[in-house]
Structure 1
Amino acid sequence: MRDESSPGPAGPGPSRRGHSRRATRALQKLAEADPAFAALSLWVDHRDADTGAPEETRLDGDAEAPAWTDGRTVFYGPGFEAHDLDLQVGLAAHQILHVALRHPARDRALALRLGPKHDSRLFNVAADALVNETLIQAGYVLPRPCLTLAPLLSRALGESTPTAAALAKWDAEALTLALMQARGGSRTGGKGEGDAPAEGGEGGEDGRERGAGADEARAQAAQAAFAPDIDPSATAGGGAAEDAEDDAEWRQRLSRALEEGRLAGRGLGALGFRIADLPRSDVPWERHLRALAARALQDEPRAAWARPSRRWTGMEAEARAARRPVPVYEPGRTRGRPIPRVVVGIDASSSVDDARLSMFMGQVAGIARRAAAELHLMVFDDEVRSVAKVPPGGAESWLRRQPLARGGGTSFDDLFARAAALDPAVLIVLTDLDAPVPRKVRDLPVIWAVPAPPARRPPHGRVLDLSI
């Protein structure tokens, strides 16, 4: 537990040293009512702040959050005291969950993965909807209006999923990516329990562009008086290694706290369904891809049948001199390809969204650049439609110019034939795996990059799940 006498991290805006006076009663009541939060709150610094949430987290028209967090400390602004005790308990629980679920650190990690396409505010919307829905299901009272999951899913994604199933399905990263790519759903912004997906919500028949779901999400958040309450920049100095260590510690704390609540039969631990938005221990798929591709691109010696090995040459000379039988031929070894080639096949009919496609191409381009490899791109469906040798830095711009049909049949035969003709170091295929897999080509490593775990694993190659 942190030393309460220490000043703690410098919070956004003027903050006061020592434990929060404003939140004392709320935290006491929270600890008495919920064993899980009693345990979690001990690992969080609580400070009073002289102002509301930092201005850099807000846009014009945003409400000012009465409390907010940087991932280590919860700050309670002057607006916190304007609420009655039950609402203060809910607000404190909301911020403690942000810290325990590692939302600021996960926001930073997603920003590193997405680059300039990342929208930290949209991540905050997704995280708030998940946290608020979880707290309401656990019996907490929150200020109204309040951003919750069902109306957000209905309006932005056209999805009407029961609350328990939605909380078991969505985590903050997956919901953020879905909102970025969605075309929007119901425009009513209602409770969403009986809303059907909007016509054209998947195919865009209503004329809405891909990404309109993010605008619908922001509109729903504004309607629910959303106030940004995550400041991911304040504790960003520790780096990825420190974030990973903190993630592991918080997973253990959450597990113990939820078990205490379950045994007590009340509060957060007594929820009768799984929550998907827990910190995950999965290694991001980008790191798996880099490791697999680096292994395939290693310049390992290969058999050179046209030139005998030195060992065989010596053995043959000795055998002839002694008039013994000549030993079995032993080929020499040669280093691999002078310039390695990476072939990337992109299934135009796959369901990979644009955000993950952009991340994927960025990773592949980085791999090719570091290995000084040629990068060959092939867009295919039932046959190869486009082929290009592109510089690693131009892969994404070339791909944007290619028509991706997003539907139709798939066949890998032409792709494998054309790829084998290039003698690549590795073939990376971005696909749903909704087609028979051809026979393995000798000495050709294959990486199958899939948007979701396939129903059946292919008979050869390594499967890389892009949903992680």
Structure 2
Amino acid sequence: MSIRHSRRAGAALRRLSEEDPALGALSLWCAHRDSDERDQAAWTDGRSIFYGPGFEALAPHEQVGLAAHQVLHLALRHGPRAQDMQSRFGDRYDDELFNISCDAILNQTLVEAGHCIPRPAVLLPDLLKAALPEETKTSQWDAEGLYIRLQADSSRSGKGKGDGDGKGRGSDSSENARPDAAEAARQFARQKGFSSDLEPCPGPVEGDEDESPDASDWQDRITRAMEAGRSAGRGIGTLSQKFLDLPQVGLPHWERLLRRLISKALAQVPRPDWGVPARRWLAADSAARAAHGFQPAFQPSRRADCSRARVAIGVDTSTSIDDARLSLFAAQVAGIGRRTGAEVHILAFDTVVSGHTKMQGMSWENEIQRVDFARGGGTDFRPVIQSALEIDPSVIVMLTDLDGPCGPAPKVPVIWAVPQDDVPKPPFGKVISLAR
């Protein structure tokens, strides 16, 4: 049973408004309810914040910090974003790991703003030290980026590759072996008393090219609330926005951008058919004859190109793209093939083309996963582009880190899909980052 307006959190929310005008303003847009359905102190389903019996057992300053944590969960739309990640990764999505990523960033934000949160707690610097010790910067992360980074490190750790001394990274017998990043993050979070407080809720519809109105609404509310906090000189409003896991409205995930670019390249443009007159010309000619006027200039009809569109996918087998992102990329290619009906050709390459696989269209995901992407070697884009042009593609997509000679620009659109944000600018084509 839940009560529509929380009595348990009333005092904490009033105190939050006094201590942090930005969070106080955001809390007014949230539904706060009391619930006995769980033992934990507070949680959210992406639409409402629920306060359990454990909330009353906390000290007043901890109640304020926990309420602020839940308000940020709701304002930053972590519920819909979790659902969006679930639709992106399918069965490989880990809701606990995404919740840990969100909590680490939110807790760090609140600590930076001077709030007291219930301890022990998962903080971003400690999580990075435990799971990703090579990462030292804390200001570059959003929830999606941190989650993908943890998953990426896990897939690399589990591959059993040699690290130069004959020992596999994923081998338990190695003296330097450590748990993969995802498992290390989970172990660390459990040591800090982590319990899941975020339930995925419906996010953007698959294939929808626009952000939902709710995302824009919350972006506007956050902007106004942060301005109020800056004017008051206290709370999260005094922080640089780099500490906030702000939703990136207007910056689509790379999957959406990839679909848009390929769909545009595959669009069937009607071509003139000079053997058949256009209906408009027939009508104008008939009217001219009836009026004994001049015959209008001939206009041909236009017909769609009946030839089947083709997509050439070049996969750089020497690249540093991890298995998790390669699998996600493969799923996107499969979806594009299903929706467009285009022929999809996979070209594995390094300095030469080592494999050419034409997708049969029966079971896209399984077919792509069976393609052999042997790792290692240098990179040269000239042979693979030449091989792609031989199949007369509508578009060429290169999955690569862009470390190699490109050669002359082909006469078809080229999309470079790269695993990192900072890459050298190629002499031609459109670059999209797979980092998010």
- TM-score of the aligned structures, taking structure 2 as reference length: 0.83
Is 1:139 the counterpart of 2:126 in the alignment? no
- Structure 2 CA distance, aligned partners of 1:290 and 1:103? 24
Structure 2 partner of 1:25: 11
8 A Cα contact 1:184 1:208, kept in partner = no
- Structure 2 CA distance, aligned partners of 1:415 and 1:148? 45
Q: Report which stretch shifted further, 405-414 or 363-372.
A: 405-414
Structure 2 partner of 1:215: 183
* Pair 424,272 (structure 1): closer, same or farther in 2 beyond 3 Å: closer
C-alpha displacement of 1:392? 3.8
- TM-score of the aligned structures, taking structure 1 as reference length: 0.78
Is 1:170 the counterpart of 2:141 in the alignment? yes
Name structure 1 gaps, 5 residues minimum.
1-13, 53-63, 186-198, 312-330
8 A Cα contact 1:184 1:216, kept in partner = no
- Structure 1 CA distance, aligned partners of 2:354 and 2:400? 15
Is 1:34 the counterpart of 2:40 in the alignment? no
C-alpha displacement of 1:215? 1.2
Q: Partner letter of residue 111 of structure 1? A: Q
- Structure 2 CA distance, aligned partners of 1:426 and 1:30? 54
* Pair 368,73 (structure 1): closer, same or farther in 2 beyond 3 Å: same
Is 1:461 the counterpart of 2:429 in the alignment? yes
Structure 1 partner of 2:125: 150
Is 1:419 the counterpart of 2:406 in the alignment? no
Is 1:286 the counterpart of 2:269 in the alignment? no
**Residues 99-157 of structure 1: per-residue CA shift (max 9 Å, x gap):** 11110010011111111111111111110111111111111112221111122112222
Q: 1:67 aligns with which of 32, 42, 46?
A: 42
Structure 2 partner of 1:77: 52
- Structure 1 CA distance, aligned partners of 2:152 and 2:79? 22
- Structure 1 CA distance, aligned partners of 2:275 and 2:423? 46
Structure 2 partner of 1:49: 35
8 A Cα contact 1:181 1:211, kept in partner = no
C-alpha displacement of 1:467? 2.6
C-alpha displacement of 1:271? 1.9
C-alpha displacement of 1:212? 2.3
- Structure 2 CA distance, aligned partners of 1:226 and 1:77? 16
Structure 2 partner of 1:434: 403
C-alpha displacement of 1:405? 5.2
Is 1:15 the counterpart of 2:2 in the alignment? yes
Q: Report which stretch shifted further, 213-222 or 269-278.
A: 269-278
- Structure 2 CA distance, aligned partners of 1:277 and 1:81? 28
**Residues 283-314 of structure 1: per-residue CA shift (max 9 Å, x gap):** 2222222222122212335699xxx8789xxx
Structure 1 partner of 2:284: none
C-alpha displacement of 1:218? 1.0
Structure 1 partner of 2:83: 108
**Aligned runs of 1:226-265 on 2, under 5 Å?**
226-233=194-201, 236=202, 244-265=212-233
* Pair 160,433 (structure 1): closer, same or farther in 2 beyond 3 Å: closer
8 A Cα contact 2:42 2:52, kept in partner = yes
Q: Partner letter of residue 309 of structure 2? A: P
Q: Percent identity?
A: 45
How many residues end up aligned between the 2 structures?
401
Two-structure CA RMSD over aligned residues (Å)? 3.1
Name structure 2 gaps, 5 residues minimum.
157-161, 173-177, 278-299
Q: 2:323 aligns with which of 347, 354, 364?
A: 354
